[in-house]
Structure 1
Amino acid sequence: MSDPWDGPAGQATRSRSARVPGQRAAEPDGPPPPGGRAAARAAARSHGGTRGRRGRPVGRGKRVLKIFAIGLSTVIVVTAGAGWWFYEHLNGNIHSVALDGKGGAEKADAFGRTPINILVMGSDGRTSAADCKLGGGCAKTGVQTGSNADVQMVVHVSADRSNATVMSIPRDTMAKVPACKDSESGQSTNGYYGQINSALQYGPACQVATVHQLTGIPIDHFVKLDFSGVVKMSDAVGGVDVCVSDDVYDTYSHLKLSKGAHTLKGVAALEFVRSRHGFGDGSDLGRTISQHIFLSSMIRKFKSAGTLTDPTAVYDLADAATKALTVDDGLGSVKKLISLASDVNKVPTKRMTFTTMQTAPDPNNKDRVVVGQGARTLFSTIANDQALTTGSGKKSAAAQATAKPTASAVPASRIAVTVENGTTVTGRASDIATALTDQGFSPETATANAPSPATTTTLTYGTGQKGEAQTAAKALGLSSSHLRQGTGTGLTLVIGSDWPSGSSYPGGSSSSAPADTQAAVSNAHASTADQAKTCAKVSPYKTVELNGVSMTPSQAYAAARKEPDSDA
């Protein structure tokens, strides 16, 4: 699919940040009152000079100290007032929306620490004049309502804050969108199967719920950024350094750069992160990789010496960030955002892994994709808080190679479980069956409704299958008290009302074998944020069009010599 544009992008104007104006001291309205030193001197002269002993003058040092004390008190009051104004101003910038538990809940590790999972969304909405100017497509419609999540990244920060994973989900992925209602617009859906980025039309919480349902990853928070937000953020950090492997001109996003390194600000930065036709194979898959390069560079800029020590730069960055973002209520204050930034800042760049969800062509539509081989394993590494790098920053070896053997000699891939729903909660059997297959159990795992309601969860196994039952129980956090030996064959799990939600039994100690981290990053275009010399690969295919002629982005660059470069 192409991105419709109706003209050149407008140039962003960077406005000066608001400052607290200084207050002038009150000045007298008229002439000074009678008396004072001049009057005293005149009176003395009229009496023929001073008589008697002169009063002791106030010491100069004491006067200086008094003036200094008053001045210092004034500075403290004004500074404190400015700080409070600054804090309240930033809080007032933030727009937050309730998530209402749509993304599930994280599980704490053995030390009571919990990981953080955030869905970062880039909106394609033209919901303001500024975004219409930047995004195009409003010539006939004007300012629009609604938007799609054309950028979706699950940002995972480990429980011990030692590592992080950023997984992009291509916008063209087909997925089930659950029943949702936007709390702000009131727009709702009963659920449908469609392109994953469309869920944002029913609110950010719906997009979170859709990603959670697709991946099984609990999503604690979300951050949404629009076109003008990218411009503001890139300006606030003084530009983002990127590199392109060849000359490139994407006639759709208007990105035009010569081969080599560039520092992109404002509209140029937006053109880079929006370019689908300039990189890779000209699809959204290539765009996710170039976005990872951009974000890695921005993270390095944040961490670099000086960026966060300049008060003006900090103010500009904070003001731009809070104005540019829509977040969930859990991040809806400056204090909470600072806490999140502090957690992210603890992770070294060499242990921040960027990946793209593995995909396969949609058999029903060549322009769409579905979840591909290896993606479920990648989802599991994130959901189970597994690092994709070692302490040295290198890709970790297959975790399952060192995993403890399970109670059964039969591998999980050969264990099928029939999961029956004995609760009143729709979809419980499907949720647990998916959790099992995500952990490598047989795809022949099936679902059904239990013959009658059940209050207690039980796992029944056939003769000689106790070991297999123990393997399944261990993966789900079930204790031995839930196991029953039956007279038939196979494993049947009945979900009772004591297990109404989640994929691990409440209070249990699920300890499934770690996912294979090599399989998790296979074909996922994995990279780490410390790779400063990585260049975005310009597409060698005829993905763009100039004057009605299809050509490669490099050919378009050569043919458009009079068109200024994006960073000119």
Structure 2
Amino acid sequence: MKRPTDPHPVIETLLDGADDDAARPSPRSPRRASAPSARRPRAGEGRHVSRRRRTSSKFVRRRIMVAAAAAVCVTMVAGISFVSATYFQVVGNLADNAVGRADGTGTEISGWDGAVNILIMGSDSRDGQTSADYGEAGGARSDVMMLLHVSADREDATLISIPRDTMLPTPECTTPAGDIVPAQEAAQINGALENGPFCSLDTIRAFTGLPIDHFIVVGFDGVIGITEAIGGVDVCVENDIADDYSGLYMTAGTHTLKGEAALAFLRTRHGFADGSDLGRIQAQQAFLASLARKVTSAGTLTNPGALYGLADSASKAMTVDEALAQPSSLVALAQTLSNVDLSRIVMLQLPVVPYWADPNRVEPLTEETDAIFATLRADLPLSFQDDEAPDAPAGMAPEPQPDEVADAEDAAGAPSEPLTLSDDIVGRTAEDTTCAS
């Protein structure tokens, strides 16, 4: 296919990257040669906590242009690779919605040579939304909050969903208007967005200890426009759903959802599990994984019309920090995620327990969350128990005991080996195609 002519260098960079993608080896092919001493430990080779029994359909593994976590953002970049006019439209849309810190400070993106951490939020603010059915709201709240970590070697990605009802300490922060919001000992995390996305970002950065400098906020219309542009997203549900609150009605089985039906699926709480936000998170993870597979399928990537609609819809409904809105940042983001396989994208829910002061709220399960974020701070991968089982050599050594796990940490307490998640952790990889329940 003849590539569109465009003089802009970043477009040429993306086009070259798209051509190279076809020549990359499959996930089962040998990776680039490197010295054994420099090999980064793979997920599943380090610390273990317990045996996890998991079932999922096996999917054909392939290289992807986007990570499931940032599908709404990198999808937009994929469109740039094929439709040059989209580039200028996307840059303009993002510039219109970019937000900077009130004091003018911010972390610039110089290429993201190291690990990448981005906070992704889905806002339930009704301001400017085209669907009147969702009513009015006095301010924005993050109905969805996810932390994306991409390893420095670009081989692993982790997407952690943080329940909206999680109670966390919030540091003092400054709103975009320059107002000072005092620190709180405990506050519901989804309310932090009311004071601006930087207040949410600062809270999660303090909680995780990770250097999170950039954010993406996606509004209602982003979901509606994206799913309509690609012809819908396939989702599977184990049971019939009749939810009067969200307007979602589905029979058990697989359905193709787009527009407001897709939005209702992402927002419903009463349709899944115990009717809580925790059940909804599992459905959202299944939706994101399916969205990633659809976006990276040949039918989407070779359809200029779909790509243009995808990029335009996503960028119009997104708010990002000023550094992330820069043209060079779009290229850096695309390059950051270009080599991550679906099987190496771990999607999990933050481990939580009922909040001591209010059973309708939750708080982090300290031991598990500490281990997860310590592993990510060390830029080591996470995995579920059976993720690497098919490739494990015969006669593999038995799983380490708790004291052996402690010995795997260095003197400063930082992990030195990958972490295998316990069977109590709710999650999946992006290639899993299990039904939502």
What's the TM-score once normalised by structure 1's chain length?
A: 0.55
Q: Which residue identity is paired with 1:513?
A: P
Q: Which residue of 1 aligns with 2:415?
A: 513
Match of 2:431 among 530, 553, 561: 530
- Structure-1 separation of matches of 2:164 and 2:142: 7
SS of residue matched to 1:210: helix
The yes-or-no answer on 1:237 pairing with 2:230 is yes
1:365 Cα deviation (Å)?
Answer: 0.3
Post-superposition Cα deviations, 1:29-65, rounded to whole Å, max 9, x if no partner, equal: xxxxxxxxxxxxxxxxxxxxxxxxxxxxxxxxxxxxx
Q: Which residue identity is paired with 2:315?
A: T
Q: Which residue identity is paired with 1:120?
A: I
Q: Which residue of 2 aligns with 1:173?
A: 166
How many residue pairs get aligned? The number is 345
- Structure-1 separation of matches of 2:293 and 2:432: 10
Post-superposition Cα deviations, 1:194-238, rounded to whole Å, max 9, x if no partner, equal: 101111111101100001111212213211011111111111222
SS of residue matched to 1:330: coil
SS of residue matched to 1:154: strand
Q: Which residue identity is paired with 1:290?
A: A
Contact 2:145 2:164 in 1 (8 A): yes
1:85 Cα deviation (Å)?
Answer: 5.6
SS of residue matched to 1:307: helix
SS of residue matched to 1:167: strand
Contact 2:374 2:415 in 1 (8 A): no
Distance 1:103 1:204, change over 3 A: same
- Structure-2 separation of matches of 1:225 and 1:245: 28
- Structure-2 separation of matches of 1:250 and 1:228: 21
- Structure-2 separation of matches of 1:399 and 1:161: 29
Distance 1:515 1:198, change over 3 A: farther
Q: Which residue of 1 aligns with 2:120?
A: 120
Post-superposition Cα deviations, 1:424-459, rounded to whole Å, max 9, x if no partner, equal: xxxxxxxxxxxxxxx98xxxxxxxxxxxxxxxxxxx
Q: Which residue of 2 aligns with 1:190?
A: 182
1:88 Cα deviation (Å)?
Answer: 2.8
Post-superposition Cα deviations, 1:272-307, rounded to whole Å, max 9, x if no partner, equal: 000111112211111111000000000111221131
Q: Which residue of 1 aligns with 2:358?
A: 365
- Structure-2 separation of matches of 1:331 and 1:205: 13
The yes-or-no answer on 1:162 pairing with 2:155 is yes
- Structure-1 separation of matches of 2:123 and 2:375: 27
Contact 2:129 2:220 in 1 (8 A): no
Distance 1:342 1:303, change over 3 A: farther
Q: What RMSD in Å do the two structures reach over aligned CA positions?
A: 3.5
Identical residues among aligned pairs (%): 40
Q: Which residue identity is paired with 1:266?
A: G
Gaps of 5+ in 2: 1-82
Q: Which residue of 1 aligns with 2:388?
A: 394
Point out which structure has higher relative CO (alpha carbons under 8 A, 6+ apart): 2
SS of residue matched to 2:98: strand
Distance 1:102 1:402, change over 3 A: farther
- Structure-2 separation of matches of 1:186 and 1:175: 23
- Structure-2 separation of matches of 1:153 and 1:248: 25
1:191 Cα deviation (Å)?
Answer: 1.4
SS of residue matched to 1:243: strand
SS of residue matched to 2:310: helix
Contact 2:286 2:436 in 1 (8 A): yes
1:187 Cα deviation (Å)?
Answer: 4.4
What's the TM-score once normalised by structure 2's chain length?
A: 0.71
1:102 Cα deviation (Å)?
Answer: 9.3
Contact 2:225 2:309 in 1 (8 A): no
Distance 1:364 1:87, change over 3 A: same
Contact 1:134 1:227 in 2 (8 A): no
Match of 1:314 among 287, 296, 307: 307
Q: Which residue identity is paired with 1:375?
A: T
- Structure-2 separation of matches of 1:281 and 1:323: 34
Post-superposition Cα deviations, 1:227-274, rounded to whole Å, max 9, x if no partner, equal: 111111111222111000011111211111011000100000000000
What does 1:374-523 correspond to in 2, within 5 Å? Answer: 374-389=368-383, 393-394=387-388, 401=400, 472=411, 474-475=412-413, 512-514=414-416, 517-518=419-420, 520-523=421-424
SS of residue matched to 1:374: helix
Q: Which residue of 1 aligns with 2:252?
A: 259
Contact 1:134 1:228 in 2 (8 A): no
Gaps of 5+ in 1: 1-82, 139-143, 413-438, 441-470, 476-511, 538-568
- Structure-2 separation of matches of 1:514 and 1:282: 39
Post-superposition Cα deviations, 1:110-154, rounded to whole Å, max 9, x if no partner, equal: xx94111111101111212525x1422x3xxxxx45211121100
Match of 2:325 among 329, 332, 339: 332
Q: Which residue identity is paired with 1:215?
A: T
